Structure 1
Amino acid sequence: MRPAITLYRHPKSGHCHRVELMLSFLALPYDTVDLDMANAAHKAQDFLAISPFGLVPAIRDDGFCLSDSNAILVYLVQTYAKDLHWMPQEPRHSAEVQRWLTVAADNIFAGPCAARLVKVFGTNHDHAAAVAKAHDLFKVMDAHLATRDWLASSTITIADVACYSYIAHAPEGGVDLAPYPNLRAWLARIEAQPNFKPMAPSSIPALT
């Protein structure tokens, strides 16, 4: 039996939840190591050997270490997925997946992620600007999802996984999802997938 993947995480991180969601969708065994980031465990030398930039999530898979949530999604699917729909090879759909991975790293980070960081973790991001960016993004996504079920293809892909966590938890950052029925229906479709795993509720120290 292959060893379980080790996931280094912060339980309330949407970036980490992306990876947990993918691990769960693929029914892959994994163990978690929760880092005490308030006390700089992510900057310790032993963790920097795993994640050189000192960021979570990171994984160790049979000696192979990798950080960056979107990179980990790509690795997990290309290594373990039996269903090819997670990363379609048809050029247009493949390009759409890449586009939404960029949205996850840029627009989602600057919008709903940053707004949530302020409210949940007390960071010094500009909350009003983050909320405005979130609504700008959600308007585009809601229109995009008006005529389709999934972001990049006719079935769920890693694009949907990458974008899910911070949008689902946008209300924690003070961003109302009520005006976006198509976006909320998309969230519900993801949550209805076999092996869906919600972000774990937990009372833990803030990120620093």
Structure 2
Amino acid sequence: MTLYDLDVSGNCYKVRLLAALAGIELNLVSVDLAHGEHKQPPYIDTAPWGQVPFLEDGEVRLRDSQAILVYLARKYAGHQWWPDGAAQQGDVMQWLSTAANEIHAGPNAARLIDKFDAALDRPRALEISHQVLALLEQHLTQHAWLAIGRPTIAECAMYPYVALSEEGGISLAEYPAIQAWLMRVRHLPGYIGMPGVPDA
């Protein structure tokens, strides 16, 4: 099973993190986005959308980190990371959607601006960041984990760009419940870090 990967991508890290936590073996193939490798053959022939992460598992080919998390958890990690019940799946799924929407448009966008000089709207990214982090702080004040009372792929989806917030100029000092959650994730067995995010 091959994951086309970029080490500084939080979306790629989501997949690497789940694999490490769940003991799923991945063959990592680095894609050089800085030099446009993702938009050229042979990569574009393999992954027509020209994105990372991209997963190949036999005949299965998947783009989008959230979709890959669901697939890997369902096929290889059992119900520990992706629950069986409809309500429980819905609970997890709403956090995957938050990662793909508010976290993407907030902390992720702020990081892209500060770290990679992306031409995005910084005031809007900061506004969204503080809105979503305030909601996340409120939730984590009452819950140890994001969904169903235990770690799931919700943690893998949400953790990277929250943990990388300071690379976008967003301090987490005013969010103690978020900081405590980040530490709980870091102490999960098998946890791995990435550039900008500490190891356990």
TM range (shorter): over 0.9
Match of 1:178 among 162, 173, 178: 173
Task: Give the match for residue 57 of structure 2.
Answer: 61
Task: Give the match for residue 73 of structure 2.
Answer: 77
1:105 matched to 2:100 = yes
Structure 1 residue 63, shift from structure 2 partner: 4.1
TM-score where L is the length of structure 2: 0.93
Task: Give the match for residue 34 of structure 1.
Answer: 30
Q: Measure the CA separation in 1 of the matches of 2:9 and 2:139.
A: 26
CA RMSD of aligned residues (A): 1.3
Q: Measure the CA separation in 2 of the matches of 1:93 and 1:143.
A: 20
SS at 1:198's partner residue?
A: coil
Q: Measure the CA separation in 2 of the matches of 1:61 and 1:93.
A: 26
Alpha carbons 1:14, 1:165 under 8 Å: kept: yes
Q: Measure the CA separation in 1 of the matches of 2:193 and 2:34.
A: 23
Q: Measure the CA separation in 2 of the matches of 1:11 and 1:85.
A: 26
Task: Give the match for residue 133 of structure 1.
Answer: 128
Structure 1 residue 152, shift from structure 2 partner: 1.2
Runs of 5+ in structure 2 lacking a partner?
A: none
Q: Measure the CA separation in 2 of the matches of 1:199 and 1:85.
A: 23
1:148 matched to 2:143 = yes
Structure 1 residue 28, shift from structure 2 partner: 1.8
Alpha carbons 1:88, 1:94 under 8 Å: kept: yes
SS at 1:97's partner residue?
A: helix
- The aligned length equals 196
Alpha carbons 1:112, 1:170 under 8 Å: kept: yes
TM-score where L is the length of structure 1: 0.90
Residues 76-122 of structure 1: per-residue CA shift (max 9 Å, x gap): 0111014x131112332211111111101000000000000011111
Structure 1 residue 25, shift from structure 2 partner: 0.9
Task: Give the match for residue 165 of structure 1.
Answer: 160
SS at 1:49's partner residue?
A: helix
SS at 1:200's partner residue?
A: coil
Shifted more, 94-103 versus 60-69: the winner is 60-69
Structure 1 residue 33, shift from structure 2 partner: 1.5
Task: Give the match for residue 206 of structure 1.
Answer: none
1:18 matched to 2:14 = yes
Structure 1 residue 200, shift from structure 2 partner: 3.5
Q: Measure the CA separation in 2 of the matches of 1:63 and 1:87.
A: 22
Amino-acid identity (%): 37
Alpha carbons 1:15, 1:57 under 8 Å: kept: yes
Question: Aligned partner of 1:101: which letter?
Answer: L
SS at 1:65's partner residue?
A: strand
Task: Give the match for residue 205 of structure 1.
Answer: none
Residues 173-194 of structure 1: per-residue CA shift (max 9 Å, x gap): 0011011111111111111000
Question: Aligned partner of 1:53: which letter?
Answer: W
